[in-house]
Chains A and B, each alone.
Chain A
Amino acid sequence: MRKSVLGVAVLALLLALSVSGLALAQETIQLAGWSSSDAENAALTAAVEAFEAANPSIDVELIFAPEFETFMQTGFASGDYPNVFYVDSFRLQDWASSGVLEPYGDQITDSEDIYEPLRNIFTYEDQLYCAPKDFSTLALVYNTDMFEAAGVEVPTTWEELGAAATALATEDVAGITTGIELPRFLPLLYQNGGSILAEDGSVSLNSPEAIQAVETFVGWYTAGVGRSPADLGAGWAGEAFGQGKAAMTIEGNWIIQYLLDQFPDTNWSVAELPAGPAGQATMAFTVCYGVAAAANNDNLEASIALADFLTGPEGAQLVAAGGFGPMPARASAADAWLTARGEEFAPFVAGGEYARPWSFPPGFGSFIDTFNTGLNEAIAGNMTAAEVIESAAEIAQEAIDDMS
């Protein structure tokens, strides 16, 4: 009896030693991101475990950092940062131009399957830097009860949108609400054929199309059929919409679960954004798995293997099956997402084909601030649409001169 106890103990000790010995021979890579919903975090953890099972020599340490960008920037500056990490499309050019990312586009499995607009977002100086994790697009979210009561059809053009907003607006309810900010305005710019930068990288913002787009956007608010979320007493457009204070809003996939959880009494549906004179356009917000540059990455191969595993055809299926807010970045997984999430959300997927990137050249932070201020000032009547465009174009030019 005693002997067997001793034997087991010795065996256990040997086992423990050999396991720890193995662990020492292991490669450890850090994967850093921000935290999403509990369900999404759990799904990512499961995907990482599947990767570890398939690659027994690699350990993955999953990090969810609060204030992610500040956390990452501190790491970048010191040269000591995680091997694999989320890169918001908005930050791609800043980070790629600073040399903290390793482009691994040529090692992505079947990259043609990834939506083309998304591949373009993560391409900097003709190199595809990283593979997208998932994405969201903007669509028109509308209150079905209000539409029915007012007898309004779902708008498909600018004219119809304006008319619908006017018909739906009442004393207490705005026809439409959006954040008074660049990402909500940009679809109009593109729908009208405007642009911020020309093909050659020069500033092309200052155009009649752009001014007309600002006039249209600002016009909703000055006419009173549109009201800002703050004006409606809400923190953001989704909240105002959920509270029934607005009949329409322009929001992304993240609004789905929010409305289901927090406003079970509101009846709503989704449509593609109405087309402008120059056709359809929406914004894509996406995140990729960046890999740390070779100079700061001791486990480059393992890092790329992990990123490719999470974003490859299988990874996309995992994202789709979860049925979370964001959509899989691969066309092959779109149907699986719609099945899991609901067919009625097809307009978000459709946007993937014609979405424009929420992404800017390095140093464009103050451009966005200036533009946001301009939109607010125009609504307050302190600036004209032409002045808004002019001041923003000036700042864009300054940013480009600065960086060259």
Chain B
Amino acid sequence: MGAVTFDQVGERSPFQKILGRVLPVVGYVVLIIAALTQIVPFVLTVANSFKCLPAVNAAPAAFLPLPPFGVACKTPEGETLSADATSSGLAFNPAVEGYQQVFQQNLGLWLVNSAIFSVVVMLLRLVLDSLAGYALARIKFPGSRLLFIGMLGTMMIPAIVLLIPRFIILRQLGMVNNYSGIIIPLMVDAFGIFLMKQFFETIPSDIEEAAQVDGANRFVMFFRVILPMATPALTALAIFSFQGMWNNFLDILIVVGGNQNLWNLPLGLSFLRGQSGEALVWNEFLAGSVVTTLPMAILFFMFQRYFVEGSTYSGLAGQ
């Protein structure tokens, strides 16, 4: 199952034996260092989201939360506490000021909108992108090459110049300021089609031929035989689609920018950031970032195992 496995070699010289022991250790060291560079910034993000404002400025690197927890950032008289009162060295007293402020905004609603956009778009893309990717990979039909190149081409132009023409089209179609304007233009994406096409090309064609002999038509074969084999690619597509929609800003701005009730989290976060201009209220903003990132992180952790376990294809291949 694994790709390059260091312990599969049959005959082993002493040198190879030592190598077999050392390599995993080196591997772990590399992995842990790499993982640290990816994770430390987020530890700091979470830590700072729990600080009082003066402490964010004075002790940004403090990451050890010490009791008392949930300290108030202002005295009962409304005076802001100084930085030293809530942090010292690498330790700080956690406060929930940032989260309180963030939740005073419409965060719950934006969270729900983000979830709706992401789930609906993800499901539609799973079906429509794979249909199109399969057609491009496996069906010989007139215009397929041109379609593929044209589709690749649409990815090559900076999205920012398409903003105004697309808004005008949406307006003509009456799709501004509602869910359809967000979902319909995004329910297919060239990236996903490309991903699925490249994946389907790696599936040996004899499987399809076998299915065809059994009399399955194209549609039945696609949904019964091909799609179940595509679990790893579909998982990847699901994650990318969900995440792309979760973080989407510009496309959603032009459709529902004027209607706070239809905003998603990135619009809300940008609204928080825009409020203060340069004088960013860091703990509030970072708290918003944590709330935005956390659902995605959990989702990814839950789904990542399907890259491995969901792969039914490897089992089929030997038949």
Q: Does A110 contact B (CB under 8 A)?
A: no
| Residues of B with C-beta under 8 A to A78 | 164, 167-168, 171
Instruction: Count contacts on B: residues with CB < 8 A to the other chain.
Output: 35
Say yes or no: B167 contacts A77, CB within 8 Å. Answer: yes
In the complex, A37→B280 CA distance in Å?
11
In the complex, A258→B280 CA distance in Å?
9
Say yes or no: A36 contacts B279, CB within 8 Å. Answer: no
Residue among B53, B58, B257, B273 with the most chain A CB within 10 A? Answer: B257
Q: Which of B2-10, B79-87, B134-142, B204-212 binds A?
A: B79-87
Q: Does A98 contact B (CB under 8 A)?
A: no
- A82-118 Cβ-contact flags toward B at 8 Å (1 or 0): 1000000000000000000000000000000000000
A window 249-269: CB within 8 A of B = 254-255, 257-258, 260-265
Say yes or no: B168 contacts A36, CB within 8 Å. Answer: no
Say yes or no: B164 contacts A32, CB within 8 Å. Answer: no
Say yes or no: A74 contacts B267, CB within 8 Å. Answer: no
Question: How many A-B pairs fall under 8 Å by CB?
Answer: 92
Say yes or no: A70 contacts B82, CB within 8 Å. Answer: no
Of A38, A66, A264, which contacts B253 at CB under 8 A? A66
Chain B, Cβ-Cβ closest to A62: B260
Say yes or no: A66 contacts B278, CB within 8 Å. Answer: no
| Residues of A with C-beta under 8 A to B244 | none
How distant is A30 from chain B, measured CB to nearest CB, in Å? 7
Of B83, B257, B281, which contacts A66 at CB under 8 A? B257
Q: Does A23 contact B (CB under 8 A)?
A: no
Say yes or no: B164 contacts A74, CB within 8 Å. Answer: yes
How distant is A365 from chain B, measured CB to nearest CB, in Å? 15
Q: Which of A182-190, A217-225, A233-241, A311-319 binds B?
A: A233-241
A window 9-51: CB within 8 A of B = 30, 32, 34-38, 41
Say yes or no: A68 contacts B274, CB within 8 Å. Answer: yes
In the complex, A260→B54 CA distance in Å?
10
How distant is A372 from chain B, measured CB to nearest CB, in Å? 15
Say yes or no: B274 contacts A66, CB within 8 Å. Answer: yes
In the complex, A217→B279 CA distance in Å?
24
Q: Does A63 contact B (CB under 8 A)?
A: yes
A-side residues, CB < 8 A to B, are 30, 32, 34-38, 41, 63-68, 70-71, 73-75, 77-78, 80, 82, 235-236, 238-239, 242-243, 254-255, 257-258, 260-265
Going nearest first, the 6 A-B pairs with the smallest beta carbon separation are: A66-B270, A258-B279, A264-B80, A236-B278, A63-B258, A77-B164
Beyond known contacts A37-B276, A63-B258: 7 more, CB 8 A cutoff: A38-B275, A67-B270, A75-B167, A243-B57, A261-B80, A262-B57, A265-B83
21 contacts between A and B (CB under 8 A): A37-B275, A37-B276, A38-B275, A63-B259, A64-B260, A65-B258, A71-B253, A77-B164, A77-B167, A78-B168, A235-B278, A235-B280, A236-B279, A238-B278, A238-B279, A239-B279, A254-B278, A254-B279, A260-B80, A264-B79, A264-B81
